[in-house]
Amino acid sequence: MKKQNLAYIMLLTLVATLGGLLFGYDTAVISGAEKSIQAFLIDGLNLSSFAHGATVSSALIGCIIGGAISGVLASRLGRKKSLLVAAILFFISALGSGQPEFLFFTKGEPTMGLLYMFNFYRIIGGIGVGLASAISPMYISEIAPAHIRGRLISFNQFAIIFGMLVVYFVNWSIAKGQTIEWINQFGWRYMFMSEAIPAALFAFLLIFVPETPRYLAMQGQNEKALSILERINSKEIAAKILNDIKGTVTKSSAKLFSYGKKVIIIGILLSVFQQFVGINVALYYAPRIFESMGAAKDASMLQTIVMGLINVVFTVVAILTVDKWGRKPLLITGSIGMAIGMIAIGMLSFFEIIGISTLVFIIVYTASFMMSWGPICWVLIGEIFPNKIRGKAIAIAVATQWAANYFISSTYPAMMEFSGGVTYMFYGVMSIMSAIFVWKMVPETKGKSLEEMEEVIERL
């Protein structure tokens, strides 16, 4: 019997994970450009730190929109075409964010209209991120054979972190050896426009991949679905999978609270805590944080690359251990590590101690997040909801996650103006609360089928 065509499966997965890479690239590109945006637009217009935070975080508004419409778009256009929409949005955002004056404004002259236009282009990119965050793993899960599905979906999380590492390196390469004046005038533009290259590659490669068999079956295109399944599996296995798909697509959905409110609350709180521990502050404002510790401009960019490498390494740790150790032990361990890191940074900030010790605790914090809450929150959100309410429940959880992300990222500059020590201590307290939440409320999903999980949820 013919085995799965692993080379073909991996090729399709690689194309889909470019959506994840662009997700990471777009959300982290701001880290190298935010000080220049502040100098050019915020300070140039004499605006407040709140306007600075809102501008840095504006893409997250688009993420909320993209996440909210992802289910509707994936159902009406299909998974492939929805990813193509995301790729086009990434491309437009990259060029528009780098040249926001295009057509309507004088280049280099800050105005409120230009600030609005810059935020508009960032929101466009955010919609692409919101779509990719939901549909890339959806595409992979509907293409992948069951026995390697979890591993392949994990590659998407790896791609997100790898995209962040790539853009840290790109930002550092652009800024290396240049004056602050050049970066504030030209460098930040190149940082944003660099995203157009992977976005164009993503759009081009999507032309050659098929739609998912599940979506084709939902549209009644069973012959096309079978053809793709046969390319992935043997004919016998393909026919069986198609019959299973036909059975699932005819199942009716249930009301959101059919299994009680507690499972929905757990999903929402998983999303909220993943953001309230402050990880995206570390990602978006990394160079500024390192500079506040006394690092030179080039050194701060280089240190963000080191942080990117740490992100990748500890995401791999999570991928290798999540099915061995279980979800709850990893999440609780990660929460404790994050609490130690953030509370220590807060204490050092209170005493105005800046140096290698601060960097060490930032590494402890980030590594703890990447081996736990980073990837495993997404795993749990995908597993914890029963089949009949999964689509609706995941949409709520993802929208909540992006809304919490926006709140934390946009309030960071104002919080830092009030007190750096208090800011980091707040994230430390949230880390402690996240551990208590997991311990008390989150069920273990390791080794359980989705049908078994329904029984667990009914007992909550």
365 domain residue, yes or no: yes
**Same domain (yes/no): 61, 161:** yes
DSSP run (H or E) holding 185: none
43 domain residue, yes or no: yes
DSSP run (H or E) holding 240: helix 235-249
pLDDT recorded at residue 283 = 62
pLDDT recorded at residue 141 = 74
The predicted model scores a pTM of 0.78
pLDDT recorded at residue 450 = 47
Domain count, the chain: 2
Mean pLDDT for back-to-back runs of 10 residues, the chain (460 residues): 72 91 87 84 81 82 87 84 95 93 79 90 94 83 70 79 86 86 88 95 95 83 85 78 65 63 90 89 63 59 72 83 83 95 88 75 89 83 70 78 83 81 92 95 73 68
Q: Which residues contact 197 (CB under 8 A, 6 or more apart)?
A: none
**Same domain (yes/no): 189, 300:** no
293 domain residue, yes or no: yes
**Same domain (yes/no): 262, 330:** yes
Domain that includes residue 359, residue range: 258-460
**Same domain (yes/no): 183, 284:** no
Name which of 458, 445, 330 is nearest 382 in CA terms: 445
Q: Take residue 200 and report the two structure tokens written for it.
A: 């164009």
The enclosing domain of 371 has a CATH number of 1.20.1250.20
CA distance 335 to 249: 38
Concatenating the DSSP letter of every residue in 309-356 gives: HHHHHHHHHHHHHHHHH-HHHHHHHHHHHHHHHHHHHHHHHHTT--SH
250 domain residue, yes or no: no
- Alpha helix positions (H), 99-148: 112-143
pLDDT recorded at residue 272 = 93
66 domain residue, yes or no: yes
Task: Select from 151, 182, 209 the last residue of a domain.
Answer: 209
pLDDT recorded at residue 319 = 77
**Same domain (yes/no): 267, 195:** no
**Same domain (yes/no): 332, 188:** no
